[in-house]
Amino acid sequence: RVLSLELNKDRDVERIHGSGINTLDIEPVEGRYMLSGGSDGVIVLYDLENLSRKPSYTCKALCSVGRSHPDVHRFSVETVQWYPHDTGMFTSSSFDKTLKIWDTNTLQPADVFHFEGTVYSHHMSPVATKHCLIAVGTKSPKVQLCDLKSGSCSHILQGHRQEVLAVSWSPRHEYILATASADSRVKLWDVRRASGCLSTLDQHNGEKSKAASEAASTAHNGRVNGLCYTHDGLHLLTIGTDDRMRLWNSSTGENTLVNYGKVCNESRKGLKFTVSCGCNPEFAFVPYGSTIAVYTIFTGELITMLRGHYSTVNCCVLQPDFQELYSGSKDCNILAWIPGLREPVPDDISEKSPPQQHLNPAYEDAWSSSDDEG
C-alpha cells in the first residue's frame, strides 16, 4: 500500500487555513480525527471518516480555533498533538511562547504554560502510564518538562548549548526522551535521573573525536531540526540542515551509517516527518522542498517523491490503519495520499492471441488459470 501511494483525486481535506500549515496529528485511539496548526495561529479539527459513503468526498472540518477565538495563539502554531489516551484533550504550542492544553468539547484551554522564548516543539509520551510529562523545546537550550498533573514546569534538562528544535519520547521506554538542537547535537535522557543526559549521539561513533581537539560529539554538521523514532523504539531517525538523515540504534547510540543521499532541508525551524508502521520494509516520509520523499529506513533507498503541493511541505502524518498519508504545506493545503487501487494487468495475453478478446463472454471458461492461457 505504501509503494502505491498517490495523490487521491477523490478525497479532499476542507480548506480552512489562510496561511501555511506547520503541523498535523491524527489521534491514536480511532485514527479518525486530525488536528492541523497554521502559521496564523489557527488550529483546525477534521473528521477523516467518509460519512457520505460516496467514492468522492471531503474530510470536513468539525471545528476550529480561529482568529476571532479569544484564546487563539497569537503567532505561528508549530506543534499540535492529541492526548495519547483519548480525544477529549489536545495540546498546541506556538511562537507566542505558550503551550496550551485544550478541552476538545468546549474548545477552551484547560491550562496554559508560558515560556521565556519561542516554542519550537513539544511531545507527550505515547506509552507513559506513570507520568504525565510534556517535553518542550524552546529558544532556550534548557529542555522543559511540564507536568499535566501538577500544572507546573517541574523539571529542566540541561546540556544543550543552543535552542532545542525537536523533542520526542521513546515509544518503548516511558522515561526516555530524545532532543535535537541547533548546537548539532542529539541527546538521549532518562528523565528520572538527576544528571539527566544518558548519551550524546556521535555521527563518527567515537572514532574521530579522539583525534579532534574538541571531543564534543555531534549528530550532524548543522542544526538538527527533526527527530522520529521507529514504531518499535529500537531506532531513531534524525535530520539536519547538513542535508543528511541519520539512523541511530537507540539503545547503543550507534550511528548505523545508512546512507540516504542528500536530504534537502532548508527549514529554519523544526521539521515534522514520520515513519510507517507495520510494513516490511519500513519507510520514512520526509518533507523535501515541495515534495515528500519516501525512503526505506534500513537500506536508505529513495523509493519515490510524492508531488502535488505548490510550495514547501512542512509536515506529514500517517494514518496507520490504512497506511494513508496526509501532508501540510506553506501553500495552505492539506493533501491526502492514498494507496492507489491497481487493476491487475494480464500477462501480454492480448499480444499472443488477439482472437480471445472477441470471444463472447458466454463461451469463456471463467475457471481457466492464467498459466493455461499463456
- pLDDT tens sequence across 314-347: 999 999 898 899 999 999 999 999 988 766 555 5
Residue 240 to residue 265: CA distance in whole angstroms: 7
CA distance 149 to 110: 12
Helix, strand or coil, per DSSP, at residue 357: helix
With cut-offs at 50, 70 and 90, classify the pLDDT of residue 360. low
**Nine cell digits for residue 165:** 528544535
The count of C-alpha atoms lying within 13 angstroms of the C-alpha of 283, restricted to the half-sphere facing its C-beta, is 24
pLDDT exceeds cutoff 50 at 43: yes
What pLDDT was estimated at residue 166?
97
Adjacent-strand bridge partners of 12: 58
Alpha-carbon distances of 116 from 89, 97, 99, 171, rounded to whole Å: 25, 7, 12, 29
pTM, rounded to two decimals: 0.89
- Comparing CA positions, the residue from 277, 226, 245, 233 lying closest to residue 78 is 226
Report the pLDDT value the prediction gives residue 367, as an integer from 0 to 100: 54
Calpha distance 179→4 (Å, rounded): 33
DSSP-derived secondary structure letter, 345? P
Confidence of residue 2 (pLDDT cuts 50, 70, 90): confident
Question: What's 2-208+215-339's CATH class?
Answer: mainly beta
